[in-house]
Amino acid sequence: TQNGFCESIGSHPSRTIMLQEMESLFQNISPDAPFIIIKDAVIHDNILNKKSISGRNKTLSFLKRMYGLDDSIPLYRVFRYLFKQYEKEHPILLLLYALARDKSLRIAADYVLSLDCGAQANKDDLIHILSQYLEGSFTEKTLKSMAENLLSSWTQSGHLVGKVKKIRTKSTSGPASLTFALYLGTLIGLGGIMLVKSPFMSVLDLNETERDELLHSASVMGFISYKSAGGMIEITMKNPVYSLGEV
């Protein structure tokens, strides 16, 4: 997979984006730790607090499949830097990274993001959408489990709220998640005005005024160079983020 993008189904047949596990992971190990250190911490030190060796191995396998956990992946290097530095943006940063890694999450994105705030997400609707896109790939039982896990992931990210009834709400983003969304856009070949209209940017739930404010903040923080005049937008990724993502 180039840069870290994947076309496969990630953990969602059995798991969610696993926000709690990823937070525990980076609270207990250095963000630049190689996978062998991560594996030792999860299996032997049980930093994720799983009850059995089997549970530890399964969790690590799902995290590895979903997020790579590999320093050679440019996208992972950028993600782990931002995730470590900007705790308040953890939910949206993790969702953005998972979107690049999990096809089922991208399929669900169109449905969840199309809901008006206050509208209820319908599991059966999502199952129907998944079955259309993934025709014949999964059993009805697995599609149901996948839909439930996907809705849980979008709840962890702040796009939905509620335990049983999942209601669409406005997610919370910031300069770091905006920068990461822009970076993801550059990796799929977008630039200029198209960069701020990418599918990744839509995840941030920003109106135009909020978007421009975050673009300014990210520019002041040194993440990007941002110029806007006459409807034209010029954005350049800057250090330290872009350099982290170089191959």
Distances (CA, A) of 144 to 29, 138, 201, 215, 233: 35, 10, 28, 39, 42
235: left (phi over 0), alpha (psi -120 to 50) or beta: beta
pLDDT at 157 over 50: yes
pLDDT at 238: 77
- Across-strand partners of 160? 168
Cα(26)–Cα(131) distance, integer angstroms: 35
- Choose between 168 and 85: higher pLDDT: 168
Strand (E) positions, the chain? Answer: 120-121, 160-161, 166-168, 224-229, 232-237
Residues belonging to the chain: 247
With cut-offs at 50, 70 and 90, classify the pLDDT of residue 244. low
Predicted confidence (pLDDT) at residue 230 exceeds the cutoff of 90: no
The pTM of this model reads 0.94
Q: What is the mean pLDDT of residues 223-230?
A: 84
pLDDT of 191: 85
How would residue 240 be classed by pLDDT, with cut points 50, 70 and 90? low
CA 157, 160, 161, 162 dihedral sign is negative
| Rounded percentage of the chain residues whose pLDDT exceeds 70 | 96
